[in-house]
Chain A
């Protein structure tokens, strides 16, 4: 890696909509609402038609061409690029917007994403038929793809189904404090263990919901940030890594090499270690995924993810790092393409002390991450800080 973008890009605005079953809102209704919230969040104001130079647009199943977004957001004429990277679409859309600014080509770039998952039936149970296109079609579902990892993890390390139930309990506790969450109710370990099995060892409560949602973020050159806000958030690191698309060609079933590599790249660019991370928005598409990500991001040793959650370390107000103060995908929701940008917006609020009841105290460095595909085949990580590192 020859060039770093550390400290070169500032996040100056972020907006989301409340996630959930949004039948009364169409794809562009959601996107427009998130975009308007994002514009409003720019402290000193912004004139988008004049000042936004380019748009990166993320979605899995939404309209495939950028021109649809230019039309919807009143940005006809602007360059719009559509990006897809499985469930890491949101993170990678943001990452590319940052790279575009850091390259010097654009001063101000909008990263916007949306996903409508409930207009057609099926959701994540059907979705996995798309990842990857196995010609002999053994039709695996997303819960099964990720459950494979936790089965092996339990076998090798002695982690239990209670441990992942604790992850769900934590994320519901955090989500309860978040007015924008898809679900806002507290649960117990028994709630999880007594709910129907979706794909052993995962029950209904080990799986994130099927959610509609949208999010938007605006980044600009770091030396322009003060024009828009006195509290910019700086992008200090990012990383992206791919693992084999076919699950049977994966090299490990107790860890995610793409997570290890993507976070390694991001830590290296930022010049920090996992110990420096105050809070992280991780990808709990399934509870077992989050547990393995504690280890693969270096927050605890390999095999000790169960101990980490059992000791209550990633809870708000407890230890470091706090994981998923927003409620995570489990409680806050997972509108696939939009999730990553919504996590970025959570970092924006946390690092500016605007997260209300779920504020992580004294936080300076936040990590945002998505994994994507049937069992992770891609991971994208972004690290932000409220000061230059």
Chain B
């Protein structure tokens, strides 16, 4: 299911700026923003700016991907310093450098080209890279 233009436009502020919502009832942070907390169902939130630093919870390294994707690339679940979770691909590194619990920083990069009608919609989102001194 490719990205429909209106969907992309609705999600962009949250995805591009790493803005999530913190539930006032259960304190869990959900990114991107939602209308209802997936964990407790509350609708009371405060907007939060996610930290750009985090660590790898887990990862996998696909060597076979749908047409047009660069391989191999590491795909990871990352937890930010403030406890929010994101998912995305690693960048600026050898995919096999990525390890569980490794500290990373989050950057906004081009994810790919999408579009329901193949209209060439350029999709941006978070990627992760090891922190280099």
Complex CA gap A141/B61 in Å reads: 11
Shortest distance from the beta carbon of A264 to any chain B beta carbon, whole Å: 20
* A199 B111 Cβ-Cβ under 8 A: no
- Give the interface centre of A144, A147, A197 by most chain B CB atoms within 10 Å: A144
Number of chain A residues whose Cβ lies closer than 8 Å to a Cβ of chain B: 35
B117 adjacent to chain A (CB < 8 Å): no
Shortest distance from the beta carbon of A216 to any chain B beta carbon, whole Å: 30
Interface of A, secondary structure class, is: mixed
* B124 A149 Cβ-Cβ under 8 A: no
B19 adjacent to chain A (CB < 8 Å): no
Complex CA gap A125/B67 in Å reads: 10
B23 adjacent to chain A (CB < 8 Å): no
Shortest distance from the beta carbon of A239 to any chain B beta carbon, whole Å: 21
Complex CA gap A8/B111 in Å reads: 52
CB closest chain-A residue, reference B79: A248
Enumerate chain A residues within 8 angstroms of B91, measured Cβ to Cβ.
none
Complex CA gap A143/B65 in Å reads: 10
A198 adjacent to chain B (CB < 8 Å): yes
Enumerate chain B residues within 8 angstroms of A248, measured Cβ to Cβ.
31, 77-78, 85-87
Shortest distance from the beta carbon of A261 to any chain B beta carbon, whole Å: 15
| A148-B30 contact given A135-B11, A253-B77, CB 8 Å threshold | no
**A130, A136, A199: which contacts B63 (Cβ < 8 A)?**
A199
A249 adjacent to chain B (CB < 8 Å): yes
Enumerate chain B residues within 8 angstroms of A68, measured Cβ to Cβ.
none
CB closest chain-A residue, reference B69: A139
Enumerate chain A residues within 8 angstroms of B78, measured Cβ to Cβ.
248
* B60 A249 Cβ-Cβ under 8 A: no
* B38 A244 Cβ-Cβ under 8 A: yes
- Contact flags A38-58 to B (C-beta < 8 A → 1, else 0): 000000000000000000000
* A138 B111 Cβ-Cβ under 8 A: yes
Enumerate chain B residues within 8 angstroms of A201, measured Cβ to Cβ.
60
Enumerate chain A residues within 8 angstroms of B124, measured Cβ to Cβ.
136
A271 adjacent to chain B (CB < 8 Å): no
* B38 A249 Cβ-Cβ under 8 A: yes
A155 adjacent to chain B (CB < 8 Å): yes
Complex CA gap A152/B75 in Å reads: 13
* A148 B111 Cβ-Cβ under 8 A: no
B35 adjacent to chain A (CB < 8 Å): no
Complex CA gap A249/B21 in Å reads: 13
Enumerate chain B residues within 8 angstroms of A122, measured Cβ to Cβ.
66
* B60 A139 Cβ-Cβ under 8 A: no
Contact size range, B: 35 or more
* B64 A198 Cβ-Cβ under 8 A: yes
| A249-B85 contact given A135-B8, A136-B124, CB 8 Å threshold | yes
* A126 B38 Cβ-Cβ under 8 A: no
B51 adjacent to chain A (CB < 8 Å): no
* B58 A200 Cβ-Cβ under 8 A: no
Shortest distance from the beta carbon of A126 to any chain B beta carbon, whole Å: 5
* B11 A144 Cβ-Cβ under 8 A: no
Complex CA gap A69/B124 in Å reads: 42
A140 adjacent to chain B (CB < 8 Å): yes
Enumerate chain B residues within 8 angstroms of A253, measured Cβ to Cβ.
57-58, 77
**B59, B64, B101: which contacts A141 (Cβ < 8 A)?**
B64
A247 adjacent to chain B (CB < 8 Å): yes
A196 adjacent to chain B (CB < 8 Å): yes
Within 8 A of A (CB), among B89-118: 89, 96, 100-101, 111-112, 114
Enumerate chain A residues within 8 angstroms of B7, measured Cβ to Cβ.
135
A77 adjacent to chain B (CB < 8 Å): no
Complex CA gap A140/B65 in Å reads: 8
Complex CA gap A133/B3 in Å reads: 8
A370 adjacent to chain B (CB < 8 Å): no
| A148-B77 contact given A135-B7, A137-B2, A253-B57, CB 8 Å threshold | yes
A78 adjacent to chain B (CB < 8 Å): no
- Give the interface centre of B62, B101, B123 by most chain A CB atoms within 10 Å: B62
Complex CA gap A135/B10 in Å reads: 9
14 contacts between A and B (CB under 8 A): A136-B124, A138-B75, A138-B111, A140-B75, A141-B62, A151-B58, A151-B59, A198-B64, A199-B64, A200-B60, A200-B62, A247-B77, A248-B77, A249-B85
User: Sorted from nearest, which 4 A-B pairs have the closest CB atoms?
Assistant: A147-B60, A200-B61, A248-B87, A152-B58
Which residues does A use to contact B, with CB under 8 Å? Answer: 122, 125-126, 129-130, 133, 135-141, 143-144, 147-149, 151-152, 155, 196-202, 244, 246-250, 253
Which residues does B use to contact A, with CB under 8 Å? Answer: 1-4, 7-8, 10-11, 15, 30-31, 38, 57-66, 69, 72, 75, 77-78, 85-89, 96, 100-101, 111-112, 114, 123-125
